[in-house]
């Protein structure tokens, strides 16, 4: 289940099956003759279906992930691989890049994934919303951009959350106001995952 660990998923399925059986017993008690057996059979089939969905949740979630990402662009979808490993999927956007929604110190930030950038960089606005005191930063570190040389400031995030994966004490580059349109997720953060890869139109991050 999206956003649920295995314990929560098992409890959800158990409670769902229990509810189905209770509803089935009520229908059975109110019915007479052969109809009662038909109702009971239907409810039992629904309960078995719930258990089957839980048992095959990994391939179902992998199949559903592109659909969820199409409905909610930049969504990070957590699945379980056939080998039992947890993976985070990020879909390629229409512009050919990977975008994802994360939380910088609990502030929502949309990142452009840039494997060519060595450092994760925040726009001036995103840095301010994440709680960084931008007025005290020293923008004295040169960096070459598409618009020429600019100067950024070094800072740190207490936490950076990507899907359910939370990283602590993350160094970031804060760009001056107006220097960048979107925050970048660079290799300094991507390398904090145990592994990552590109599979067609999906980026797979392994916590």
Model pLDDT for residues 41-98, shown as the tens digit of each residue: 666 667 666 665 555 555 555 555 555 555 555 678 888 877 788 899 998 988 999 9
33 and 128 together in one domain: no
135 lies in some domain: yes
Q: How many domains does the chain have?
A: 2
84 and 161 together in one domain: yes
Neighbours of 132 (CB within 10 A): 22
157 and 64 together in one domain: yes
- In terms of pLDDT, which residue wins out, 6 or 106? 106
Nearest CA among 168, 160, 165 for reference residue 127: 160
Neighbours of 197 (CB within 10 A): 10
Domain span holding position 27: 6-55
Max Cα distance, the chain (Å): 84
Nearest CA among 145, 127, 129 for reference residue 137: 127
98 and 185 together in one domain: yes
Model pLDDT for residues 89-141, shown as the tens digit of each residue: 998 988 999 999 999 999 999 999 999 999 999 999 999 999 999 999 999 99
Which segments within the chain are labelled E, that is strand?
A: 77-80, 86-91, 99-104, 107-113, 121-122, 141-145, 148-162, 165-174, 183-185, 195-199, 202-206
């Amino acid at each position: 289940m999206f956003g649920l660990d295995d314990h929560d998923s098992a409890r959800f399925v158990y409670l769902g099956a229990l509810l189905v059986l209770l509803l089935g017993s009520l229908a059975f008690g109110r019915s007479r003759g052969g109809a009662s057996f038909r109702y009971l059979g239907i409810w039992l089939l629904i309960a078995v279906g719930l258990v089957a969905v839980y048992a095959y949740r990994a391939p179902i979630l992998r199949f559903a992930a592109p659909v969820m990402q199409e409905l909610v662009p930049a969504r990070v979808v957590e699945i379980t691989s056939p080998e039992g490993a947890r993976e985070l999927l990020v879909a390629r956007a229409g512009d050919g890049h990977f975008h994802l929604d994360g939380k910088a110190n609990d502030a929502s930030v949309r990142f452009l994934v840039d494997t060519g950038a060595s450092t994760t960089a925040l726009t001036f606005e995103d840095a301010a919303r994440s709680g960084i005191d931008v007025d005290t930063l020293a923008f004295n570190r040169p960096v070459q951009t598409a618009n020429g040389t600019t100067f950024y400031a070094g800072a740190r995030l207490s936490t950076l959350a990507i899907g359910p994966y939370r990283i602590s004490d993350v160094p970031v580059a804060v760009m001056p106001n107006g220097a960048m349109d979107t925050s970048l997720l660079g290799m300094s953060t991507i390398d904090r995952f145990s592994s990552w890869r590109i599979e067609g139109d999906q980026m797979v991050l392994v916590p």
